Amino acid sequence: MEKKNKTTKILMHDIPLRLIKVLNIICLTIPFAGCWYGYYSGQMKDGFYNRGNLLMIALFMLVYFLFARIYNAFLISVNRISEMVYSQVLAALITDGISYLIIALLVKGFPNIIPGVMAIAGQIVMSLIWCFLAHRWYFRSFPPQKTMIVYDVREGMEKLIDQYDLECKFEVTEIIQVTDVINHLEKLNTIETVFLSGIHSHERNIILKYCIEHRIQVYVIPRVGDVLMSGAQKVHMFHLPMLRTGRYNPQPEYLILKRLADLVIAGTATVILSPIMIITAIAIKAYDRGPVFYSQIRLTQDGKEFGVLKFRSMKVNAEKDGVARLSSGENDPRITPVGRIIRKCRIDELPQLLNILKGDMTIVGPRPERPSIAAEYEKVMPEFRLRLQAKAGLTGYAQVYGKYNTTPYDKLLMDLMYISHANLLDDLFIMFATVKILFMPESTEGVAEGQTTAMEENTCCDKEEKLNG
């Protein structure tokens, strides 16, 4: 009876939530539809049949839905209202841009952009209204889930729930050591959600099986071994099901297509962004007459060293003592006024397009690390070198879902998740997802002033790796 009640509760939660998401798509399509029927459809030489009009509206809805999914624009239960609005407006802007290009092709020219701008304004209003009402409805309709945090060598999940304002989603009723749960599994019976943090596979599997049997939702923070296994290939040998795993070894056609995409996208971006790069170079030179570019030795595939190229954002001789230090963020005294601006918009990274054209880097892959900093990380967690299975990238999974000061262990997990499932669709997904973080200050938060690595302020990963992560 208890299991049936939980199943009914899940259905009562999912169905209205899906309908609310469909309503969002309709709401943001209405301004575009008004713009299309009111102006652009009339610009066609022979007009559009009704089916053609409906096809254009359906195309907008489909493209918007895809980009909204990429930017997590529907996550009412997790995202703040401001983040949902930002994600939805960004998805709508990209969809509007694609739609405008299609219209330009249909009319063989660039039609008046004013109706499109009015549609964007309407979409912003629609998004604000939907996000406010949906957020209010959700948390009135669905009370916080009774949550238990089970930990072993990694503590602090409750701090993250508090940091990201998720108390209205997860009501942490108990924080408990794993051995206490293993000895008393019945403690889970009154719980709706469980976080498993830094738990070894034997104990974790016992809890997982119990939770699945009793329809308890589980969030697992994986360990390195878990991520490596996630990319395993299913095979059958000796009449037995097996999982085969090994070093990163993608198909040749994937590497060829990835390289072609690198050349086309990096080449096109270099041409389009050249005015911004020229202005940036002039501003850097005018500020202190120092060099415009800054080359730094980094590591790429199989530990090969190369010089990554950036616009100089710090003072000349910022590391004259020879010690490599991570940036402490906006208040880092080594950063110049020009540097603060170009760092906020990631303009300092644009010269790496030349590294991509040269073949030292790729667009999507693990971010290249300095040899000295990588060596410090590897002293604590030798697995850090597993990032070097793939070519270094301009952006990556860790950049989209992490921050500058995310712990090296967590960045390692994210990079290994990408490496374990590398494919062109994920590469495309990460490229578009990178657009969202360009203007999000959280993604550029620095480490504490004076730190040489991101390890020193957060030792949970140190302890975890010493216990055979």
CB contact at 8 A, 280 and 310? no
What pLDDT, in 10s, does the model give residues 358-405? 999 999 999 999 998 999 998 888 889 999 999 999 999 888 887 766
d(CA 145, CA 78): 13
43 and 30 within one domain:
yes
Out of 126, 141, 156, pick the residue that ends a domain.
141
Percent of the chain scoring above 90 in pLDDT: 33
List of residues 6+ apart from 179 with CB closer than 8 A: 203
pLDDT score of 41 more than 70: yes
Domain boundary among the residues 204, 221, 238 is at: 221
Task: Please calculate the CA angle 27-33-38 and round it to the nearest 5 degrees.
Answer: 135
Give the range among 194-198, 221-225, 276-280, 443-447 with minimum mean pLDDT: 443-447
What per-residue confidence (pLDDT) applies to 8? 56
Same-domain check for residues 309 and 382:
yes
Same domain? 44 vs 166 = no
Sort 178 into a burial class: Cβ within 10 Å, 0-12 / 13-18 / 19+. Answer: buried
Note the pLDDT of residue 468: 41
Burial of 356 (0-12, 13-18, 19+ CB in 10 A): buried
Q: Is the pLDDT of residue 460 over 50?
A: no
Domain with residue 209: its CATH number is: 3.40.50.2300
Q: Which residues in 195-210 are b (16+ Cβ under 10 Å) and which e?
A: bbbbbeeebbeebbeb
pLDDT, average across residues 39-62: 80
314: which DSSP letter? B
The average confidence (pLDDT) of the chain is 83
Residues 462 and 347 in one domain: yes
387 is a domain residue: yes
Least confidently predicted of 199-203, 421-425, 449-453: 449-453
Domain check: are 268 and 346 in the same one? yes
Q: What is the dihedral of CA 463, 465, 467, 469, to 10 degrees?
A: 140
For residues 183 and 281, membership in a common domain is answered with no
Q: How many domains are there within the chain?
A: 3
pLDDT at 145 over 90: no
pLDDT value of residue 457: 45
> In this predicted structure, what is the pLDDT of residue 452?
47
CA distance 441 to 403: 9
Structural domain range at position 203: 145-221
pLDDT for res 326: 57
pLDDT tens-digit series, residues 326-335: 555 556 677 8
Question: Of residues 49 and 87, which shows the higher confidence score?
Answer: 87
pLDDT given at position 163: 56
Give the residue-averaged pLDDT of 255-283. 93
- List Cα–Cα distances, 314 to 172, 271, 404, in angstroms: 43, 26, 17
Q: What pLDDT sits at residue 155? A: 63
Band the pLDDT of 10: cuts 50, 70, 90: low
Which of the listed residues 141, 166, 196 is the one where a domain comes to its end? 141
**Is residue 237 assigned to a domain?**
no
- What pTM did the predictor assign? 0.77
Which tops the pLDDT comparison, 466 or 116? Answer: 116
Q: Is a pLDDT exceeding 70 seen at residue 173?
A: yes
